Amino acid sequence: MSNFEQPDVENILSGGTVSPHVNQLLVHAGNTPAELLAYCKDKNILVQAYSPIGHGEILDTPVVAAMAAKYGVSVPQLCIRYTLQLGTVSLPKTANPDHMRSNAQVDFVISDADMDALRNLHARDYGNSSVFPVYSGK
């Protein structure tokens, strides 16, 4: 599944013959659908977090840059680790081999306080594409 909300998943579970195993969702700091993540976990549905770096907009967020520096990592590494600690499978997009290697280096733990700060980060306004900012055309 991709971008299935709870009522959509409930419809499949109640009317389908095969239970879904994965729901691919937009999950990143500032866009954390906590209730849907908990629901999927309760139903044993793995969540794949696409666009964990928030369509790149988060790279220009000073509070996130400061937090990444605190851990000695890059902003993308912090964002990827955030989605992993939420219990999702993180799917960052890059064609750059150096970024791929760097993105895989997420062997650190974000504190509970910093997880809360990232969870409650003010989401950027993507205008008409706010629901799916990955499609904002930027």
pLDDT, greater one: 130 or 36: 36
**Is 17's pLDDT higher than 70?**
yes
What is the spatial distance between Cα 69 and Cα 112, in angstroms, rounded to a whole number?
17
Integer angstrom CA distances of residue 47 from 24, 115, 127, 136: 6, 18, 26, 22
pTM, full prediction: 0.88
- pLDDT for the residue numbered 125: 56
- pLDDT for the residue numbered 136: 40
Q: What CATH superfamily is the domain 6-122?
A: NADP-dependent oxidoreductase domain (3.20.20.100)
